[in-house]
Amino acid sequence: MRVQPFENIFVLCTGRCGSTTFVQAARHATNFTASHESRTHLAGALRLAYPSKHIEADNRLTWLLGRLDVTWGTRPLYVHLRRDAEETAQSFAKRANQGILLAYRTTILMGAAKRNTSTEMIDFCRDYVQTVEQNIALFLRDKPHVTQVTLENAQTDFPNFWDRIGAEGDLDAAMAEWAVKHNASKSA
């Protein structure tokens, strides 16, 4: 595979799909920095002002895709990080009363959980996963530099990503990160 000189790499995902692990693995590259949700506390132009030679994984970027396109356009490599949709929804269900799922249920869906008591929590989680996956797919449809990494196939997908960006560093150590359950949900 021909190495592309990417200045920046954005990992777009639902969350609960290995984004923390992806960053832990990417940190073993010596020619890129890598962070997870590093600018979530910022607004305006600063929110998307990532440094050069940086890999950023942040599921909240899926709420900022228009701005991401205006700011970065077609220059970066966009990684669509995925996990089995049902597994992702089940993981979110274990954390449904916090973070992005809480915001989705109570703000984006305008308090739907209170108004629709027949809807089970897992249904809200599935709805969120489907919505974000479709938003990512729509955003990526005209981008020339896209790759996919799936949690289930990380042992082959991540080395392909590593090669594609011309990463330097310790790939063996990076791959060892995929055997660690970073940020795992506790059992229900």
Q: What is the pLDDT along the chain (188 residues), one digit of tens a residue?
A: 556 679 999 999 999 999 999 999 999 999 999 999 999 999 999 999 999 999 999 999 999 999 999 999 999 999 999 999 999 999 999 998 899 998 998 888 886 666 655 578 899 999 999 999 999 999 999 999 999 999 999 999 999 999 999 999 999 999 999 999 866 666 54
> What DSSP state is assigned to residue 83?
-
Taking the C-alpha atoms of residue 8 and residue 144, their distance in angstroms, rounded to an integer, is 14
Print burial letters for 121-144: b (CB count within 10 Å at least 16), e (below 16). Answer: beebbbbbbeebbeebeebbeebe
Question: What are the structure tokens assigned to 37, written together?
Answer: 């949700």
Q: Which fold has domain 8-177?
A: Rossmann fold (3.40.50)
Tell me the HSE value of 69 on the side-chain side, using a 13 A CA sphere: 14
Q: Which of 178, 173, 182 is nearest to 155 (CA)?
A: 178
